Amino acid sequence: MRPGKAERLNRLFDPRDGRAVCVAADHGWMSDMTANVVNLREIVAAVVRGGADGILLSLGQAMRLGRLLEGRRAPALLLRADWMNLPRLGGANELNAIPVTRMKRVAAATARDCLNLGASAITIYFFVGYGDEFEAYNVELCAHFAEQCRRVGLPCIIEPMAVGGMVTGANVAEWLQVSARMAVEIGADALKIAYTGDKATFGKLVRDAGVPVLMLGGARSDNERDALDMVAEGLEAGAAGVVFGRNVTKAPDPQLMVRQLVTLVHEGRTVDEILAPPAGSRLRLRVTAKNCTGCDLCEVACHEAHTGAFGKSHARLVVRSEEWNTGRLGGRLHRPFVCTLCGKCVEACPTGALTFSPGTGHLKFDTALCTGCGQCGPACPLGIIRFDADSHPLTCDFCGGNPQCASWCPNHAITVAVVAAAPRADEQSVETEAATATIADIDAQAQAGTGEMAQ
């Protein structure tokens, strides 16, 4: 490898662990003017603050925002040297102002142009699976870029993408594996590629490639845990890091998302550790009633998480529906009722079988102490405690810190909030004031939500 390439790769991949966290922010070059395109300056600044190792920009934006990347510790600049119209192909993009029916890809800069702008690498696409002619054209164009990069000592990051009629769910992993190796044979110094979906096939891809492999984040995920879990799997399979795009640029807090990725990739922390609430804080479930469509997925998810089976009978929450009719209009309103940790059930339990868990503050149930008296059920102000066949109450345990109802709710009617709260003086008892406040919270929720349904 030429010294220029080696030095610039070292600017991107942390020499301590050979890994990199990169953010792709070049979407405006190829797709519609979404929020992440409009607010790019703020996003790039947040990415820099988050400590990313690299950021991918179009040349035009690099000319304007390059100064945000000044300094040895700032992210390395990666430049998108080509253009394509995939985001506008068919219904792939929700905006899609001008849909296209045929894939096109062209060079948009030379390696020398990118080098002159201060790039540490270029990134180019490599499409496979769309058709023989287009594949050959892609090979030729990638080879052209690779040759330019060799000449000027600039790393060439190739992004294989399997799209088109020859790609199916059954063969996409194989396409990615093959295209990864093809890209290396053409001259890639590193790869930017989608996760194949499992560790075994991705591990083979990484081994066969023989160059650093950065995995993509893909489309924006509603659940940051899913995105981080995927990264953790990829790293286990040998990935050298990530290139996250919309999962960062569309995140509510891009800096935090980058920071989480850096922690995962460079510091070896687990996803659970990263997402754990800060010390002195507690997890709470929040309900936004107006978002609830009554799909009951939360109940099913809860039941499944605790029994491993499909159903709702063992769910620790309840979705209630109510008819409404104004005379001219009518319908059904839905609202999930979740445990608010008010402590009424704990108070009602005569044997101490129900307590608050030290540390998390969540309910803890001791089967050995439970006599099956059933007093906790009526004590619950929301009436959400069900009983199993042994008359034991089914109380919310927050699924060990990852509440499945919130994870699965497609409309964010149930979300997890991290609230600052001092540990209870005695986790075995209930503070009346806290319980009162919690009930007040519920009332406020009911009024702030649809307001149509009484607790």
Partner 1 sequence: MAENIGKQLRLAEWFNVSYGGAILVDMTISGAEGAVTGLEDPGEAVDELGCQATGLIVNPGQMERLASRGRLPGKRGAAPLVRVDWTNALRPSDFIAPMRKARRVLLSSAEDAMDLGADAIVTYLLMGLDEDFEAENIQSFAFLARESARLGLPLVADIQLVGPKVGKVNFADAVKLGVAQAVEGGADAFIIPDPGEEALAMIRRFSPVPVLLRVEGKGDSNKGGLGDAGLDKGGLDEGSWASCFNRADGVVFAGREFWASTRRVDLVSFAREAREAGGTR
Nearest distance from C-beta of residue 251 to partner 1, angstroms? 19
**Residue type for position 164:** G
Candidate list 109, 190, 287, 399; residue touching partner 1; CB under 8 A: 109
Q: Report the alpha-carbon angle 136-140-143, nearest 5.
A: 140
Q: Candidates 44-52, 102-110, 185-193, 349-357: pick the segment binding partner 1 (CB under 8 A).
A: 102-110
Q: Does 55 bind partner 1 (CB under 8 A)?
A: no
Considering the complex, state which of residue 61 and residue 255 has its C-beta at the smaller distance from partner 1. 61
Contact 130, 103 (CB under 8 A): yes
Among residues 99 and 331, whose Cβ is nearest to partner 1? Answer: 99
Q: Which of 6, 38, 136, 437 binds partner 1 (CB under 8 A)?
A: 38
The residue to which tokens 């499992």 are assigned: 198
**Separation of alpha carbons 60 and 66, rounded Å:** 10
Shortest separation between residue 16's beta carbon and partner 1, angstroms: 33
Distance, in Å, from the CA atom of 205 to the CA atom of 211, rounded to the nearest integer, reads: 10
Smallest separation (angstroms) from partner 1 to the CB of 252: 19
State in angstroms the smallest separation of the CB of 34 from partner 1: 9
Q: Where are the alpha helices (DSSP H) in 281-431?
A: 297-307, 344-348, 376-379, 404-408
- The piece of 11-19, 99-107, 188-196, 319-327 that touches partner 1 (CB under 8 A) is 99-107
Q: Does 28 bind partner 1 (CB under 8 A)?
A: yes
Per-residue burial over 343-361, b = 16 or more CB atoms within 10 Å of its CB, e = otherwise = bbbbbbbeeebbbbeeebb
Q: Tell me the closest approach of the beta carbon of residue 30 to partner 1, in angstroms.
A: 8
Out of 110, 360, 429, 445, the only residue in the binding site for partner 1 (CB under 8 A) is 110
- Under the criterion CB under 8 A, does residue 412 sit at the interface with partner 1? no
What angle (nearest 5°) sits at the alpha carbon of residue 312, between those of residues 311 and 313?
A: 105
* Shortest distance, position 33 Cβ to partner 1, whole Å: 4
Question: Residues 95-101: contacts with CB within 8 Å, 24+ apart?
Answer: 95/31, 95/32, 95/33, 95/34, 96/32, 97/32
**1 counts as binding partner 1 under rule CB under 8 A:** no
Which listed range, 101-109, 124-132, 252-260, 277-285, lies at the site for partner 1 (CB under 8 A)?
101-109
Region near partner 1 per CB under 8 A, out of 94-102, 259-267, 349-357, 413-421: 94-102
Long-range contacts of 356-359 (CB under 8 A, 24+ apart): 356/424, 356/427, 356/428, 356/429, 356/430, 357/427, 358/423, 358/427, 359/423, 359/427
Query: Among candidates 71, 72, 74, 130, which has minimal Cα distance to 105?
Result: 130
- Count of C-beta atoms within a 10 Å radius of residue 32: 15
User: If binding is defined by CB under 8 A, does position 113 make contact with partner 1?
Assistant: yes
Counting contacts by CB under 8 A, is residue 368 touching partner 1?
no
**60-89 footprint of partner 1 as x/- string (CB under 8 A):** xx-xx-xx---------------x-x----
Amino acid 221 reads: S
- Measured from the CB atom, the residue of 144 and 286 that comes closer to partner 1 is 144
100 binds partner 1 (CB under 8 A): yes
Residue closer to partner 1, measured from CB, 29 or 175: 29
Binding site for partner 1 (CB under 8 A): 26, 28-33, 37-38, 41, 58-61, 63-64, 66-67, 83, 85, 95, 97-110, 113, 116
